[in-house]
Amino acid sequence: MFSKILIANRGEIALRIIRACRELGIATAVVYSTADKDAAYLKLAEQAICIGDAPPAESYLNIPRIISAAEIADVQAIHPGYGFLAENDHFAEVCRSCQIEFIGPPVKAMAAVGDKVECKRLAKKAKVPTVPGSDGAIDDEKQALEVARKIGYPVIIKAAAGGGGRGMRVAHNDVSLRAGLKQAQAEAENAFKDSTVYIEKYVEFGRHVEVQILADAHGNAVHLWERDCSMQRRHQKLVEESPSPFLKQSVREELCNAAVRLVKAAGYTNAGTVEFLVDQDQNFYILEVNARIQVEHPVTEQVTGMDLIKEQIRIATGMPLSFKQKDVQQLGHAIECRINAEDPARNFAPSPGTIEEWRAPGGPGVRLDSHAYAGYRIPPNYDSMIGKLIVHRRTRAEALAAMKRALSEFHIAPIKTTIPLHLQIMDNEHFRSGDVDTGFVERVLLAR
Amino acid sequence: MAKKNQSKKGSKENGSVRPASGHSPMDLDLLEQMTRLMRDNDLNTVDVRDGDKRVILKRGSAFAAPSGSSGYVVQQPTTTPSPVANTGLPSAAGTGAGASSSTPAMTDTEAGMVAIKSPMVGTFYSASSPDAKAFVSVGSTVDEETDVCIIEAMKVFNNIKAEMKGTIGKILVTNGETVEFGQPLFLVKPA
């Protein structure tokens, strides 16, 4: 077991990792930027090292400074958390070449699953369904029409170099395909200097269901069931839950087994999540693999009773998994709401500043993962999430009631948060009946 | 010109700074305005030059490692005032009173001295090699280009320059000590 670990992250995930280390008897060193210098969670680590000014490039994304901090802190391993350098295979490589273990997958596996093309290839090899598509760039209109007719409308044209929703067009027929192709190419050329596009089947009203996996360096890989994260706004998750209220049991098992096959094919170890798109007929297609611990990992921890951060650390020391697939239970129902310092009434404008009043919820089945408190100043330099509120009860109905109760007990002032939005969601009849898709929040809830 | 007690916390009303009659970066009122601007706009560094006069305003943390420490750099409680450390510009917590009493020009002043702070995380060395003489000692004259120490990070040795004219007043770290970003290394009496 490691005797000391460096945490190369901030905020609630840094606190989460500190907590796991304290329970394992591992000393911690945590890096921080000048913007985080007054954060109370720093005091829970044995050592806190200032590595730079607020901008991530000067601090949390700065590899030389983080490695330097790891060296002066004399640690055996680095936990990258999520975001920042967590999926940076170059960083993982640098750590290991400096004789510091990177708590995450091997560099090759990380790079493989992070590459869209390679990931698709591995999926096919592992017999994991992929989104039907052109499987490569579209050369001309004729080919586009052939592909679209083969996979069936509606289709989506996507920029190969793209992201952020740009260079995308949905087409429902040949006419809109011809027009959409030209538009997407033009937009891609403008935004990314690369007009290359490809075509995929467009799943309308799809759900985002992801599978948590753990794999050790001895060839063992297991799933810890799924999380349904269909409640999103601008591709950012708002609410996550487990089990998925939508999937049939047989599909749930197929999905989870598919995820395990994929990570085995990739030679992946440590924690990871395989994301799937599920259509209205319960067909699923792999979207991507997240080679890191995720924000919503507490949802899985609650229903399985496992501590994923501790498992990550154990795997990184070379230990085999201490349990088998059959030992993984999914008990009860857990829901997580991400509490962001944003004002839903003003189009989610960020609301940084100092928290003056903070009364956290409690009671049975309530878990709060947060680094914030009364007196905490939310720095404007990083993402707006100030905490995660998780409930775990025996049934989904009870979990909904518990979340509603917990949200209404939660008092934060004067900064604005997304608590009112979450209360709205908990009362929404579609959400309550499990009848939502990834477009629901924007299309229905926020359109009002 | 905006008066000292006119600006509110978070206010941007004194966004444009009119220099005082002196028109010099060394003007106290101007500097006080600038420190407020920095706080209100959460700026870290402002470099003001006028001819051969120059003032660098920096705000942010500075944690002096306890002397004789084993090399661990521990975050100190931010409320501890001490002669050596951590006063200077008003922090976001709004210790405006403290700011106006200390020299607004620079952080970490002890009797008007200016701190040279570490620009990186690493190990401090006072000389270029174990056998060599230290780059500077108390009383040494320095200018912008004088090497005052080496900080080693990831096996790369970086010469750290004084970036100011003056005399070394105090050396805050010892040879081989680990340092963090922003940690004060030397106190310099400005020339």
Q: Which residues of chain B does A49 touch, with a Cβ-Cβ cutoff of 8 Å?
A: 73, 121, 180-181
A363 and A244, same domain (yes or no): yes
**Binding-face residues of B in 34-93 toward A, CB within 8 A:** 42, 44, 60-61, 63, 71-75, 78, 92-93
Domain region containing B74: 60-190
A124: left (phi over 0), alpha (psi -120 to 50) or beta: alpha
Domain count, chain B: 1
Residue B161 maps to a domain? yes
Phi, psi dihedrals of residue B45, rounded to the nearest 5°: -135, 135
The whole-angstrom separation of Cα A420 and Cα A428 is: 12
CATH classification of the domain holding A162: 3.30.1490.20
Tell me the pLDDT tens digit for each residue of A193-203.
888 888 999 99
Smallest Cβ distance to B122: which of A48, A54, A68? Answer: A68
The whole-angstrom separation of Cα A400 and Cα A394 is: 11
CATH classification of the domain holding B67: 2.40.50.100
A97 and A159, same domain (yes or no): no
Is the complex ipTM more than 0.85? no
**Binding-face residues of B in 1-30 toward A, CB within 8 A:** none
Amino acid residing at B43: L
Residue A54 maps to a domain? yes
CATH classification of the domain holding A60: 3.40.50.20
Active site residue A448: no
Residue B65 maps to a domain? yes
The stretch A149-159 carries a mean pLDDT of 91
- Token pair listed for A228: 């349904």
Of B81, B111, B76, nearest to B95 (Cα)?
A: B81
Residue A315 forms beta bridges with which residues?
Answer: none
Q: Which residues of chain B does A47 touch, with a Cβ-Cβ cutoff of 8 Å?
A: 72-74
The whole-angstrom separation of Cα A332 and Cα B140 is: 71
What is the CB neighbour count within 10 angstroms for residue B35?
Answer: 22
Domain count, chain A: 3
Residue A109 maps to a domain? no
Residue A115 maps to a domain? no
Residue B98 maps to a domain? yes
For A267, counting Cβ atoms within 10 Å of its Cβ (0-12 exposed, 13-18 middle, 19+ buried), the class is middle
Residue A16 maps to a domain? yes
Domain region containing A96: 4-103
B153-162 CB contacts, 8 Å cutoff, 24+ apart: B153/A64, B153/A65, B153/A68, B153/A71, B153/B120, B153/B121, B153/B122, B153/B123, B154/A64, B154/A67, B154/A68, B154/A71, B154/A98, B154/B122, B157/B125, B158/B120, B158/B122, B160/B116, B160/B118, B160/B119, B160/B185, B162/B116, B162/B186, B162/B188
Tell me the pLDDT tens digit for each residue of A41-72.
999 999 999 999 999 999 999 999 999 999 99
Residue A135 maps to a domain? no
Choose, from A207, A227, A252, A292, the residue flagged as catalytic.
Answer: A292
The stretch B61-74 carries a mean pLDDT of 37
**Which pLDDT value is given to residue A446?**
84
Tell me the pLDDT tens digit for each residue of B103-133.
334 445 577 899 999 999 999 999 999 999 9
Smallest Cβ distance to B154: which of A53, A64, A377? Answer: A64
**Which pLDDT value is given to residue B11?**
38
Residue A121 maps to a domain? no
A173 and A221, same domain (yes or no): no
Residue A154 maps to a domain? yes
Residue B19 maps to a domain? no
Please answer whether residues A303 and A393 qualify as being in contact, where contact means their C-beta atoms are separated by less than 8 angstroms: no
Inter-chain touch A50–B63, beta carbons under 8 Å: yes
Domain termination residue (choose one: A182, A201, A220): A201
A233 and A168, same domain (yes or no): no
Q: Using CA atoms in the order B137, B141, B145, B148, what is the torsion angle rounded to 10 degrees?
A: 10
Q: pTM (2 decimals)?
A: 0.78
Residue B44 maps to a domain? no
Q: Compute the half-sphere exposure of residue A56: CA atoms within 13 Å on the CB side of its CA.
A: 11
A195 and A58, same domain (yes or no): no
Task: Mutate one of B75, B150, B177 to test the A interface: name it (highest A CB count within 10 A).
Answer: B75
pLDDT band at A341 (very low <50, low <70, confident <90, very high): very high
- Token pair listed for A406: 């917990």
A260 and A298, same domain (yes or no): yes
Residue A127 maps to a domain? no
A226 and A316, same domain (yes or no): yes
**Which pLDDT value is given to residue B115?**
96
A348 and A385, same domain (yes or no): yes
Q: Which helix (H) or strand (E) holds B152?
A: strand B147-153
A298 and A164, same domain (yes or no): no
Tell me the pLDDT tens digit for each residue of A249-283.
999 999 999 999 999 999 999 999 999 999 999 99
For the cut 80, the answer to whether the pLDDT of residue A304 exceeds it is: yes
Residue A6 forms beta bridges with which residues?
Answer: A29, A78
A164 and A61, same domain (yes or no): no
- Provide the 8-state DSSP code for A443: I
